[in-house]
Amino acid sequence: MVTPPLGRRPGKRDTRTEIVAAAREAFRTDGYDGTTMRSVARRAGVDPSLVHHYFGDKAGLFVAVMDLAHDPRRVSEQLALGAGPKGAGLVLAFLDIWEGPASTGEPGSGFVAMVQAASSAPEVATALREFLTERVWRPEGGAPSWGPALVSVQLAGVGWARYIMRVEPIASASPEEVAALVGPTIDRYMAGGQASEGAGNATE
């Protein structure tokens, strides 16, 4: 899949912007797994060392393309740290990505754009899934398990309710309130990979 370099437009776009544009195209066309630093460099018409210089690695490039305020790999690091309930911290980290000080535009607008892209272009959803699988859900490989999948159900659902549907009281609640309510569910799923104890048992 050799694509001729796009070359530089006359004038304004800087190299970093060129690389991000080339990477966006590459992730769409080849998926996350099929994209390499080298193929992005080729598309952008720059030396691969420049791509490394600006973005570090492929995951960093993907984060830039998705215009994420924070690298979601931090979420994975947070999950790996220490024992005890981490659900609330995870919800706070998720909300911080979309509405924290480093986010741009309206609170949640990055989430809305991401949902729009993933629902409109299956290739974007695929690239996002590959990225999350490799970098957040199971960085050490292994079979798919219910835990990470159900945690992502919680976080995606919160984003949907808060930023897109603007369901009250979730839309106006503080991040801490949301974290306090949804965190325990995440802890339960992370503990067992499921939530079979409690009110759902037929024996109650």
Interface residues with a second copy (CB under 8 A) are: 85, 87-88, 112, 115-116, 118-120, 125-126, 128-129, 132, 137, 144-146, 149-150, 152-158, 160-161, 164-170, 180-185, 187-188, 191, 194-202, 204
CA 21: distance to chain centroid? 18
Beta carbon nearer to a second copy, 59 or 195:
195
Long-range Cβ pairs for the range 65-71 (8 Å, 24+):
65/20, 65/23, 65/24, 65/27, 66/114, 66/128, 67/104, 67/110, 67/113, 68/97, 68/110, 69/96, 69/97, 69/98, 69/100, 69/102, 69/103, 69/104, 69/110, 70/96, 70/97, 70/100, 70/102
User: How far apart are the C-alpha atoms of 136 and 36, rounded to whole Å?
Assistant: 19
Beta carbon nearer to a second copy, 75 or 170:
170
Q: What minimum distance in Å lies between the beta carbon of 86 and a second copy?
A: 10
Q: What minimum distance in Å lies between the beta carbon of 83 and a second copy?
A: 11
Q: What minimum distance in Å lies between the beta carbon of 31 and a second copy?
A: 13
Beta carbon nearer to a second copy, 5 or 105:
105
Beta carbon nearer to a second copy, 98 or 137:
137
User: How far apart are the C-alpha atoms of 107 and 99, rounded to whole Å?
Assistant: 5
Beta carbon nearer to a second copy, 101 or 169:
169
Beta carbon nearer to a second copy, 29 or 152:
152
Q: What minimum distance in Å lies between the beta carbon of 45 and a second copy?
A: 32
Q: What minimum distance in Å lies between the beta carbon of 103 and a second copy?
A: 17
Quick check: 53 and 74 in contact, CB under 8 A? no
Instruction: Give the CA angle between residues 28, 142, 183 to the nearest 5°.
Output: 80
Q: What minimum distance in Å lies between the beta carbon of 169 and a second copy?
A: 5
Return the half-sphere exposure (C-beta side, CA atoms, 13 A cut-off) of residue 184.
4
User: How far apart are the C-alpha atoms of 79 and 97, rounded to whole Å?
Assistant: 16
